[in-house]
Amino acid sequence: MQFSKTLQEAFATSGTSAPSSAASNAANAIDVRLADIRSKDAMNRTAADMDFLLTNDTKLAEITDKQNRGMGLTSSEVDYEQKARGFVNTMALLSPAEKALYDKAVASGNPQAAAGISQIAFIRTMGHSAGGAEGTTYDPINTAITAENIEKYFRYSIVDPGGKSQAKFQALIQYLQNNPVVS
User: Which one, of 138, 90, 147, lies nearest residue 113 by Cα?
Assistant: 147
Tell me the torsion sign for CA atoms 43, 46, 49, 55.
positive
- Give mean pLDDT, residues 32-57: 92
- Which of 8-17, 21-30, 83-92 is predicted most confidently? 83-92
User: Which one, of 124, 152, 148, lies nearest residue 137 by Cα?
Assistant: 152
Query: 161: burial class by Cβ within 10 Å (0-12, 13-18, 19+)?
Result: exposed
CA–CA distance, 92 with 14 (Å, rounded to integer):
47
pTM here is 0.79
Is the pLDDT assigned to residue 183 strictly greater than 60?
A: no
Q: Distance between alpha carbon 45 and the CA centroid of its chain, in Å?
A: 18
CA–CA distance, 53 with 73 (Å, rounded to integer):
19
Q: Which residues pair with 138 in a beta bridge?
A: 130
pLDDT digits (tens, 9 = 90+) for 131-169: 988 889 999 999 999 999 999 999 999 989 999 999 999
